[in-house]
Structures are given as C-alpha cells and as structure tokens.
C-alpha cells in the first residue's frame, strides 16, 4: 500500500512538472512568434512597446510564465508533496493551483507597476526630448544599479528563501485555502524581491529582446536551483556593472540605441496594432508611417 502511494505521488509530481514546463515552453513559443511579427524598432525603443495596458499585461504574464515557471517548479512541487502527505493523514488538502495562482498574482501586479513606470518614462522622455545618447546612458545606469542590487543583503535574503523550498515551507506554512493563498503571495513576494531588477533591465535592453530574456531566465534558474547559485548572482553583478559602465562611455552598444535609428526620442511610440502584424515567415511587413 505504501509503495503504491509512493508511485502515485511520483506520477502526480511528474504530471505537475510536465504541465509547468509545457506552459513555459508554450509561452516561449508565443514570445518568439510575437517577437518575429513585431516592429522591433518601435517595440524596443518604446518602454510600453506602444501597447495599451491590457495587451502589455497579457504579454507580461506570458513572459512570467516562460521565465519563472521553471525556476518556481521546486517550490511548487514541494508544496504539492506536503499537501499530499496531509491528505494521506486525513487532514485538510488544498490543490496546488491555489498556491500557483497566488504566486502569479504577485507577478501580474508587478506587471501593472511595470506598465505604470513605462508610461512615466515615456512621459518624461516626451517632455525632456531626450536624445538617444542620453536615453542609452540612463539605461546604462539602470544596468549598473541592477548589478549593485545583486550583492545587497535584501537580494541575498530573498534568494535564500527561493533556494530552500523545505525551509520556506517549514517556516511559512499555513493550513487551508487562505493559508495556501498567503504562502503563494509570500513566495511570489520573495521571488519578486530576488528578481525585479533583472526584469527592469529588459527595458533598456528591449522588452521584446528574446536573447536578453533567455539570458536572464538562465541567470535566475542558476541562482535559484544550482548548488552554486550565490556565486552566479555575484558573477551576474559583475557582468551587469561592467556592461552598464561600457554603455555609459559608449551608448551605442545598447540594443535600444541601435533600434532608435539615431532619432531623438521626443514622444511615445504609436500603439502597436497586433492584428495587423505579419505572421512569422510572411513576405510582407506592416508599412511605417
């Protein structure tokens, strides 16, 4: 009987892990398709990508599924394992999706904040008529700030909570649906505290820059999952500070400077018409006004 329960737990674990990875893979496919169909000059030069709030938020959530589900998998699987053990003892059981939903709620709200910040940046750029050189140097300063944040005590605290699922479960456990929601929100908050500036750097690098997203995903995964995660965080800090310093000296090395085409950024980009974007591989592209 005990052997059968162990086998069933393993099956459930594999199903949950498979679903998480399948959703992440589907999200990556959608992002690649979106990146192939977008007007990248406009999308990379505009913090909001020219999108309205609902569409920006939808893309943001897709990005979070693609980038965060693989790194959140150990915590989600640990939560499920404890819940199954409670059910086997006849105690209250809460479905794992409740924990995941609360976790994603934190990242969704962060997308709202990101959009508000992007709108503010565009408004400031429009009023100040920032040149590409100045805008790129601001981006370089953001990269340096992100690198410095990597070695702060707060980053280390949040990373330690994300790297030790058992410790988090033991110290933060709450029973019932409300407890699962609270735990999901708390883990999401630690995860956000660990990674938020790594996502902010996507704005100067290009919010639809697939290569940048892939590198950041690998960094986050290595920080949270690999045995030597903290040295990875410190190496990332050095790389970000070094690249940011280079951008401050030579602004043209920033991808969004290249995308600006040497024009002064003095107004937000026009909204992206997602319905009129060409399918990847099509022969035509939307005309530019």
User: Of how many residues is the chain composed?
Assistant: 289
Residue 285 located in a structural domain: no
Residue 69 located in a structural domain: yes
Burial class of residue 162, CB neighbours in 10 A (0-12, 13-18, 19+): buried
Residue 135 located in a structural domain: yes
Tens digits of residue pLDDT in 197-241: 999 999 888 888 889 999 999 999 999 988 888 899 999 999 999
CA distance 79 to 74: 9
Residue 288 located in a structural domain: no
Q: What is the pLDDT of residue 264?
A: 37
Residue 281 located in a structural domain: no
Residue 174 located in a structural domain: yes
Residue 77 located in a structural domain: yes
Tens digits of residue pLDDT in 103-121: 999 999 999 999 999 898 8
CA distance 6 to 74: 18
Q: What is the pLDDT of residue 133?
A: 86
Q: What is the pLDDT of residue 86?
A: 78
Q: Is the pLDDT of residue 273 over 60?
A: no
Q: What is the pLDDT of residue 208?
A: 81
What's the mean per-residue pLDDT of the chain?
83
Query: Got the DSSP string for 102-136?
Result: HHHHHHHHHHHHHHHHHHHHHHHHHHHT--HHHHH
**How many Cα atoms occupy the beta-carbon half-sphere of 258 within 13 Å?**
8
CA distance 166 to 227: 15
Tens digits of residue pLDDT in 61-87: 999 999 999 999 999 999 998 888 877
**% of residues, the chain, pLDDT over 70:** 81
**% of residues, the chain, pLDDT over 90:** 49
Query: Got the DSSP string for the chain?
Result: -HHHHHHHHHHHHHHHHHHHHHHHHHHHHHHHHHHHHS-HHHHHHSTTTT--HHHHHHHHHHHHHHHHHHHHHHHHHHHHHHHHHHHHTT-----HHHHHHHHHHHHHHHHHHHHHHHHHHHHHHHHHT--HHHHHHHHHHHHHHHHHHTTSHHHHHHHHHHH-HHHHHHHH---HHHHHHHHHHHHHHHHHHHHHHHHHTHHHH-TT-HHHHHHHHHHHHHHHHSTTHHHHHHHHHHHHHHHHHHHHH-GGGSHHHHHTTT----SPPPPP-GGGSPPTT-S--PPP-
Number of domains in the chain: 1
Are the beta carbons of 89 and 5 closer than 8 angstroms? no
Q: What is the pLDDT of residue 8?
A: 66
Q: Widest CA span of the chain, in angstroms?
A: 71
Residue 97 located in a structural domain: yes
Domain assignment of residue 178, given as a range:
2-257
Tens digits of residue pLDDT in 5-30: 666 677 888 899 999 999 999 999 99
CA distance 119 to 183: 31
Tens digits of residue pLDDT in 127-139: 887 788 888 899 9
């Amino acid at each position: 009987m005990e052997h059968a329960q162990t086998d069933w737990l393993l099956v459930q674990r594999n199903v949950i892990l498979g679903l998480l990875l399948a959703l992440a893979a589907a999200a990556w496919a959608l992002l690649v398709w979106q990146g192939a169909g977008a007007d990248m000059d406009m999308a990379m030069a505009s913090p909001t990508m020219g999108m309205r709030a609902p569409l920006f938020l939808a893309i943001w959530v897709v990005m979070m599924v693609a980038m965060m589900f693989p790194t959140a998998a150990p915590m989600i699987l640990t939560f499920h394992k404890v819940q199954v053990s409670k059910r086997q003892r006849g105690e209250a059981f809460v479905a794992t999706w409740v924990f995941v939903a609360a976790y994603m709620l934190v990242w969704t709200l962060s997308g709202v904040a990101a959009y508000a910040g992007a709108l503010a940046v565009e408004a400031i750029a429009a009023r100040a008529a920032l040149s590409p050189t100045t805008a790129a140097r601001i981006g370089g300063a953001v990269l340096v700030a992100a690198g410095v944040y990597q070695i702060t005590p707060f980053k280390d605290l949040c990373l330690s909570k994300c790297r030790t699922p058992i410790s988090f479960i033991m110290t933060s456990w709450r029973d019932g649906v409300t407890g699962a929601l609270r735990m999901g929100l708390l883990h999401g908050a630690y995860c956000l505290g660990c990674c938020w500036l790594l996502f902010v750097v996507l704005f100067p690098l290009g919010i639809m820059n697939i290569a940048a997203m892939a590198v950041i995903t690998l960094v986050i995964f290595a920080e949270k999952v690999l045995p030597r995660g903290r040295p990875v965080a410190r190496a990332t800090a050095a790389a970000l500070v070094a690249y940011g310093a280079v951008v401050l000296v030579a602004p043209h090395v920033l991808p969004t400077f290249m995308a600006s085409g040497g024009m002064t950024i003095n107004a937000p980009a026009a909204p992206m018409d997602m319905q009129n974007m060409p399918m990847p591989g099509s022969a035509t592209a939307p005309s530019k006004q």
